[in-house]
Chains A and B, each alone.
Chain A
Amino acid sequence: MFRNVAELVELAESKNVKIAEIMILQEMEFSGLPREQIIEKMDRNLTVMEQAVERGLKGVQSVTGLTGGDAVLLQNYMKTGRALAGNLLLDAVSKAVATNEVNAAMGMICATPTAGSAGVVPGTLFAVKEKLNPSRAEMIDFLFTSAAFGFVVANNASISGAAGGCQAEVGSASGMAAAAIVELAGGTPSQAAEAMAITLKNMLGLVCDPVAGLVEVPCVKRNAMGASNAITAADMALAGITSRIPCDEVIDAMYKIGQTMPVALRETAEGGLAATPTGRRLAEEIFGSYK
């Protein structure tokens, strides 16, 4: 049983196993289910993620018309060869966007750790997949590694935008993804923790200010940035860069920032982008014509 990232890393390194394995063992103990059933359950979640990305890449529109179609634009742009960033990064961004566009359209997704932040983990996984060619089992491990880090954040801080702002949602998702990318790319458990710390540091203070209270603007694009942040931090950690502030202390800082964040900036749609003239106008237009 691990209560924080330090214990998680210590457990994995002392047993000489992947972080995914520690999460699987804990799940077996908690649920009393055999390993095969737990793996099968995660396999089903992976399938839902695949289907959501596939659907989003074909192009979807939300009921309000605020979001949809951006994943397609990005894929088309990548094909022109004019993209400034590398294709792996943009692929991750477009797949994260695809997932959240499906979510906004009231489609089926898998929350990772929440629905509003559901794009980051699958977006990065399916992009990195193109380069590393992981087996299905390794892809499932990616999700268990993400779960292990998310588990620590959820229990020691928060994964709720209403409680901790967007840093708790897209911030957590991004840190989880970074750690899992490191492990999939062959990094050590310590490097995975460094990637999580570096990622989350860059997300501290991010507020939850959804226009009209909808999980659309800015949520979809925040998933895009969450995905690119995760890949950048994973590469930094794999290069041997470490965070001066340990991962658990970054998580604690995130929690305290969330607690002091004004209510207007915690999923109430009363501040930030939601309170801009355009944000307010959109809300009026939507709720004037919607329903």
Chain B
Amino acid sequence: MKYRSAFDIIGPVMIGPSSSHTAGAARIGRVARTLFGKQPKKAIISLYGSFAKTYRGHGTDVAVVGGILDFDTDDERIPSSLTIAEEAGMEVTFTIEDTVMDHPNTVKIRLFDEDKELELVGISIGGGTIEITELNSFKLKLSGENPAILVVHNDVFGIISSVSTVLANHEINIGHMEVSRKEKGQMALMVIEVDQKIKLEIMKELEGLENVLQVIKMVD
């Protein structure tokens, strides 16, 4: 099921004019910001398909930047986000792409600062609902609505059971889980959607596991 809540249909409360091209775009920007963990120094935003063709009319550009500034869909600062980003010292570049993607509303966001870099691909599937389909070249499927943890790890045997054991010990239930990798034996990514909140100590414990390289938390 792509849509799971009544509020996916009646909602979100948002600044117009388009749920997919404005609210959805803002949500993708905000997920990128959350995964980056702080306000980036630089953002490169690539728009594809219908996003590329109609972004100016729908305010897709200001919405994505608003999301990167951590604004929610109903934040009245969205229309002026480009100015706010400039004042905050965040450099923003847009590129308009003509590559045909699987979904017509696709955006690729790259965020940078001195010591970090993140690349994310998101799609806006209608009514403000989104999916993150790629993170740092890993294929994944993430709604950004449920608490989730992303674990970057070496592709070795036993790692999935080590991670799930830590969660089980803390009585955390897994709702959905996905593992993807670029190449056998190389770096891999686990996306785990859970039902409970993830405390900092659990994050620390996961980070301490052998072969775990990075742990990122989504939503509280």
A-to-B contact residues, CB < 8 Å: 23-24, 26-27, 30-32, 38, 41-42, 44-45, 48, 102-116, 118, 121, 143-144, 146-148, 150-151, 154-155, 158-163, 168, 176, 210, 212-216, 263, 266-270, 287, 290-291
Taking a contact as CB atoms under 8 Å apart, the answer to whether B6 and A102 are in contact is no
Taking a contact as CB atoms under 8 Å apart, the answer to whether B54 and A269 are in contact is yes
- The interface residues of chain A, by DSSP majority, are classed as helix
Taking a contact as CB atoms under 8 Å apart, the answer to whether A266 and B50 are in contact is yes
Taking a contact as CB atoms under 8 Å apart, the answer to whether A115 and B23 are in contact is yes
For the complex of A and B, list the 3 residue pairs with the smallest distance between their C-beta atoms, beginning with the closest. Answer: A160-B126, A213-B54, A103-B16
Q: Output the least CB separation between B70 and chain A (Å).
A: 19
**13 A-B contacts, Cβ less than 8 Å apart?**
A27-B6, A45-B13, A111-B12, A112-B9, A113-B8, A113-B127, A114-B18, A115-B128, A118-B19, A160-B127, A213-B53, A214-B58, A287-B56
Residues of A contacting B22 with CB < 8 Å?
115
Q: Output the least CB separation between A124 and chain B (Å).
A: 14
> In B23-52, which residues have CB < 8 Å from any A CB?
23, 49-50
Residues of B contacting A107 with CB < 8 Å?
15-16
Taking a contact as CB atoms under 8 Å apart, the answer to whether B13 and A44 are in contact is yes
Residues of A contacting B8 with CB < 8 Å?
113, 151, 154
Taking a contact as CB atoms under 8 Å apart, the answer to whether B20 and A112 are in contact is no
Partner of B54, one of A24, A31, A176, A268: A268
Partner of B18, one of A38, A41, A215: A215
Q: Output the least CB separation between A107 and chain B (Å).
A: 6
Residues of B contacting A115 with CB < 8 Å?
14, 16-19, 22-23, 128
Interface size on B, residues (CB 8 A): 44
Taking a contact as CB atoms under 8 Å apart, the answer to whether A263 and B104 are in contact is yes
Instruction: Kindly state the separation between the CA atoms of A195 and B179 in the bound complex, as whole angstroms.
Output: 44
Taking a contact as CB atoms under 8 Å apart, the answer to whether B17 and A45 are in contact is no
B195 nearest CB neighbor, chain A only: A32
Taking a contact as CB atoms under 8 Å apart, the answer to whether A104 and B127 are in contact is no
A41 nearest CB neighbor, chain B only: B7
Instruction: Kindly state the separation between the CA atoms of A215 and B22 in the bound complex, as whole angstroms.
Output: 11
